[in-house]
Chain A
Amino acid sequence: MNRGSSRFAFLGKIEGLPIAVVLAVLYVVFIFTAPSVFTGYRIYMSFFQTVPPMLVLAIGLTFIVTAGEMDLSFPAVVALAGFVFTWWFKTFQTPIIGFILAIAAGAFVGYVNGLLVARLRVPSIMATLATQFFWYGVTILTAGGLQINIQEITTTTIHTIFVGRLFGVFPVQALWALGLTAFFWFILNRHKFGEAIMFIGDNAEVARVMGINVDATRMKLFTLHGVIAAFAGLLLTMEINVFFPTQGQGMLLPVMAAVFIGGTSIAGGAPVLVGTFFGSYIIGSLEAGVVATGIGGYWVQLVEGLVMAGSVILNVVIGEEGISALSRTARKWAVPAQAPGGNGHGRDDTA
């Protein structure tokens, strides 16, 4: 009856809180187990350098999963966008046009995915599995299987803008990733487009009868994801100053893991973009953290698996209701012998 029975119920409404706690706990553990590494600033700068491409991809995937879809083709877009950019830069020395072309290539891949899913009704997981192979094939073929070095990129303005170092140490891409998280949070939670995506993922039939153009929204969604993946690919390529045809491979599962441990429901309709943000940093920090503790590289995957399972369980157990239930229980423990006859606040068990 009394809805405001829990003083801590508001905690359940803070988006992504459980996963933020996991990240904090993880860093505290690392600080104790590997103090020499985790008390310095360098390791964090290294995370700010390596996590952003993954985080950007995870933002895009959160949108896809929210709509009840899947996209396996984004690693290929990372490679394709990297190739288009480096090839153009190498050939014409105009990085800005290369950048735009790379984004356009990503949009095109996404648009084709959208056509397959929304128009031809191919289930997205199958359609994008196929396009993933296809676009990697196109990339390797046109690149002749060779990597392209673009050491010269480091002197360009575009490099400074996207992957430069603020005050000589802070990787700018971390700010881009943070800004994009904030921007896309508003698109998802405070914009018609995001609301349409949530309703489509919740129940596409409801969305349709309420006047949402479901197919057009799906087209836009996949195109957007192509653009986002291309941007992630550009961040990666510019950061390491080299394109190699297999880049992006190996990012599929970590990015999916970041989305799901963040709390976004695989069933669709319920995104947790803030969770995706923290989830990406968890995934991106685990390997380095575990290695730094000195227990040995063989432990990495085992610990990763444990942390992922723990995070997902935490998200399921501590939902919106979970926290208020927990804090009610906690209060009972805290004041076990309070005299009955109050205003019935929390002491229902005496009745």
Chain B
Amino acid sequence: MAERTALRMVNIEKYFGSVCALKSINFQVGHNEIVGLIGDNGAGKSTLVKILTGVFAPTSGDLYIADKKVDTHSYTVKKAHALGIETVYQDKSLGEKQAMWRNFFIGREISYPLGFLKVREEKKIASEIMVNTIGFRGKGIGVDSKASKLSGGERQGVAIGRAMHFEADLIILDEPTVALSLKEVRKVLNFVHKIKEAGKASIYISHTIADVYEISDRFIVIDRGEIVASIAKAEITLKELDEFLLEYSHGLKDKVQP
């Protein structure tokens, strides 16, 4: 392994009871690579993301983050954060009724020794991120606004801005553009370009193949809990990728070895 990787999974499997959700998953993400993860509903993408982010542990297999092996059974969201993995979800990144400054620091509060919050400091940093990184100007939205006042695109902007603030090395975007207008989708994609420019890695999950194609360096296709294809962008055009997926979903194509 000459190349540095942000993430590597070796023979990861996950069972829920006797149901197999993921079967011998092997894949890696380079340290400055954007990987598009494609798959139908129920293919196992969400399970994969939850294992990566420490929400739950795999049944077996090894996980390497920044080329270091991670003990999957003591791996938690907090540890994932500490190791530089951040996740932006479709709809569960922000607490709707909570102020923006709380949303920036939830789970990673700046606090005094007894656990009381340094509110002023949190607000100051949150305000800087909102204005400088995300580009909120005026519009009546500030650190004290509730998250419910933001548009869908703004919310994802906040989530991505938060991830960048905490200096994530790998940002996982799980369907970040569902239910967004085209203009807002564009904003989100621009943020992903920024991730690449900043020298970081990302896993981008979406149903919109054109978006995935635009921003990814490589595509991984997952189906029924298995990785069925891994294709570099240079090897395929958008049209070919589209056709490949269509044929695949109609069962016309045999499995391609990754």
A211 touches B76 (CB 8 A): yes
Cα-based distance from A196 to B95 in the complex (angstroms): 11
| Interface 9-mer from B30-38, B102-110, B225-233 | B102-110
Residues of A near B115 (CB, < 8 A) are 191-193
B88-103 CB contact bits vs A (8 Å, 1 = yes)? 0100111111100010
User: Given the known A-B contacts A199-B98, A202-B97, are A211 and B116 also in contact in the complex, defined by CB atoms under 8 Å?
Assistant: no
Could you tell me the distance in whole angstroms from the C-beta of B59 to the nearest C-beta in chain A? 20
B: contact size bracket: 20 to 34
Say yes or no for A3: interface residue by CB 8 A criterion. Answer: yes
Given contacts A190-B116, A206-B94, A209-B92, 20 further A-B contacts (CB under 8 A): A1-B140, A190-B117, A190-B119, A192-B109, A192-B117, A193-B115, A195-B106, A198-B98, A198-B102, A203-B95, A206-B95, A207-B107, A208-B55, A209-B55, A209-B93, A210-B77, A211-B76, A211-B106, A211-B108, A270-B97
Q: Of all chain A residues, which has the CB nearest B111?
A: A192
In order of increasing CB-CB distance, the 6 nearest A-B pairs are A211-B107, A211-B77, A210-B107, A202-B95, A3-B140, A269-B97
A209 touches B53 (CB 8 A): yes
Could you tell me the distance in whole angstroms from the C-beta of B64 to the nearest C-beta in chain A? 21
Q: Of all chain A residues, which has the CB nearest B80?
A: A211
Could you tell me the distance in whole angstroms from the C-beta of A268 to the nearest C-beta in chain B? 8
B106 touches A212 (CB 8 A): yes
Residues of A near B96 (CB, < 8 A) are 202-203, 269
Taking Cβ atoms with an 8 Å cutoff, the residues of B that contact A are 53, 55, 76-78, 81, 87, 89, 92-98, 102, 106-109, 111, 115-117, 119, 140
User: Given the known A-B contacts A3-B140, A209-B77, A210-B77, are A269 and B108 also in contact in the complex, defined by CB atoms under 8 Å?
Assistant: no
Residues of B near A270 (CB, < 8 A) are 97
Cα-based distance from A3 to B77 in the complex (angstroms): 38
Cα-based distance from A269 to B102 in the complex (angstroms): 12
Residues of B near A212 (CB, < 8 A) are 106-107
A180-199 CB contact bits vs B (8 Å, 1 = yes)? 00000010001111011011
A-B contact pairs, 8 of them (CB 8 A): A190-B117, A192-B115, A199-B102, A207-B106, A209-B77, A211-B107, A211-B108, A269-B95
A206 touches B93 (CB 8 A): yes
Cα-based distance from A213 to B76 in the complex (angstroms): 9
Say yes or no for A152: interface residue by CB 8 A criterion. Answer: no
Cα-based distance from A256 to B225 in the complex (angstroms): 48
Could you tell me the distance in whole angstroms from the C-beta of A159 to the nearest C-beta in chain B? 31
A269 touches B119 (CB 8 A): no
Residues of A near B140 (CB, < 8 A) are 1, 3
Q: Of all chain A residues, which has the CB nearest B76?
A: A211
Could you tell me the distance in whole angstroms from the C-beta of B4 to the nearest C-beta in chain A? 26
Could you tell me the distance in whole angstroms from the C-beta of B29 to the nearest C-beta in chain A? 20
Partner of A191, one of B55, B77, B98, B117: B117
B109 touches A211 (CB 8 A): no
Could you tell me the distance in whole angstroms from the C-beta of A205 to the nearest C-beta in chain B? 5
CB interface residues, A 1-30, toward B, < 8 Å: 1, 3
Q: Of all chain B residues, which has the CB nearest A192?
A: B115
User: Given the known A-B contacts A191-B117, A195-B117, are A207 and B87 also in contact in the complex, defined by CB atoms under 8 Å?
Assistant: no
Cα-based distance from A212 to B102 in the complex (angstroms): 13
